[in-house]
A and B are shown apart, each in its own frame.
Chain A
Amino acid sequence: MSLTFLPQDMNWVCEPCGVPLEQGKVELDYLGNTFHVELPVCPKCGAVFVYEELALGRIFEVEQLLEDK
């Protein structure tokens, strides 16, 4: 089961493609671990949007944990 992480404001557009981002399934891989989550994704080029709160919060803590820090 994947967890969903969406920013409060979903009015994001992929700049190269000019297409609004949509909720999509993403695999996050780090140090041999894969996490199945849902994030804003460009339906055209597949670019993933990791918003700041997610990057500095959960993802940062997971990195520290996996790196044994």
Chain B
Amino acid sequence: MRTSELYASEPVRTSLGRTLRPGGEALTRHMLQLVRPAPGSRALDAGCGCGATLGLLLESGARAFGLDLNDGFLREAAGDGRAVAQADLAHLPMADGSLDLIVCECAWNLTDKERVLAEFFRALRPGGVLALADIYARGYRAGEWPVRCCFTQATDLRTVLEQVDGAGFGIDVVEDHTAMLKRTAADFVFRHGSLFGFWQAVTGDAGLAEMACAASRESKPGLFLLLAHVPLQ
């Protein structure tokens, strides 16, 4: 298994389903209630996976499309009739100021984060909105993750806010949804006997599983939701 695709592993997919992330559809619906995309607005799902959020964006009336790197997920999303393409979020294939909304859920931590924020800022029009949800580290240190995954590059929340602000965005909403992440972890425990059992199922290696558990204890992963906008000129 390519360790950068923890979310694509069988144990994770079995528990999380098509949403591929903690919080699932409930968090996305909450996010969209805050954002309230206008009908006809141009929306990008950055890291669209199987297209679950794309479906919700389309329901809201937005003109939505998705980008991802994973071939299999893109085929699944395209099979549902979603407009998707393969692209690196660090090099968005769109013109400056061409988007009204970018939604990015549990994908940002897998990327060149500051480069991606710069691309998001470039592609959004003045007044455009970034809706970002991802893992952050609540603990005293980031933890040394033995596998590359959404936890590996997670920082404390202050650093997240500094990076988003540093990219030029105005931050409007910051919410903690760690309870949803804990619920996901609890589901993994019930299914696999323990978090160690979950990581062993994912990595196939007891040593790596123990290291992942140790990193989790140190970093105490949390889940944030952030809304930001590109300032009007």
* Chain A contact residues, CB within 8 Å of chain B: 3, 32-33, 35, 37, 57-58, 61-62, 65-66, 68
Chain B residues closer than 8 Å to A33, beta-carbon distance: 179, 182-183, 186
Contact partner of B189 (CB less than 8 A), chosen from A32, A61, A68, is: A61
Contact partner of A58 (CB less than 8 A), chosen from B179, B183, B193, B220, is: B193
Query: Closest A-chain residue to B194, C-beta based?
Result: A61
Structural contact, B179 and A65, CB atoms closer than 8 A: no
Task: Enumerate 11 A-B pairs (CB-CB under 8 Å) in ascending A order.
Answer: A3-B191, A33-B179, A33-B182, A35-B190, A37-B190, A58-B189, A61-B195, A62-B186, A65-B195, A66-B183, A66-B186
Chain B residues closer than 8 Å to A37, beta-carbon distance: 190
Query: Known contacts A61-B195, A65-B185; is A32 also within 8 Å of B179 by CB?
Result: yes
Query: Known contacts A32-B179, A33-B183; is A65 also within 8 Å of B190 by CB?
Result: no
Chain A residues closer than 8 Å to B189, beta-carbon distance: 58, 61-62, 65
Q: How far is the CB of B190 from chain A (nearest CB, A)?
A: 5
Query: Closest B-chain residue to A1, C-beta based?
Result: B14
Contact partner of A57 (CB less than 8 A), chosen from B179, B183, B186, B194, is: B194
Q: B residues 4-34 with Cβ under 8 Å of A? A: none
Contact partner of A35 (CB less than 8 A), chosen from B185, B186, B195, is: B186
* Chain B contact residues, CB within 8 Å of chain A: 179, 182-183, 185-187, 189-191, 193-195, 220
Q: How far is the CB of B182 from chain A (nearest CB, A)?
A: 6
User: In whole angstroms, what is the CA distance A62 to B184 when docked?
Assistant: 10
User: In whole angstroms, what is the CA distance A61 to B182 when docked?
Assistant: 11
Chain A residues closer than 8 Å to B195, beta-carbon distance: 61, 65
Structural contact, A57 and B193, CB atoms closer than 8 A: yes
User: In whole angstroms, what is the CA distance A33 to B182 when docked?
Assistant: 10
Chain B residues closer than 8 Å to A58, beta-carbon distance: 189-190, 193-194
A32, A35, A61, most chain B CB atoms within 10 A = A61
User: In whole angstroms, what is the CA distance A42 to B183 when docked?
Assistant: 28
Q: How far is the CB of A68 from chain B (nearest CB, A)?
A: 7
Chain B residues closer than 8 Å to A65, beta-carbon distance: 182, 185-186, 189, 195
Contact partner of B190 (CB less than 8 A), chosen from A3, A32, A68, is: A3
Q: How far is the CB of A41 from chain B (nearest CB, A)?
A: 17
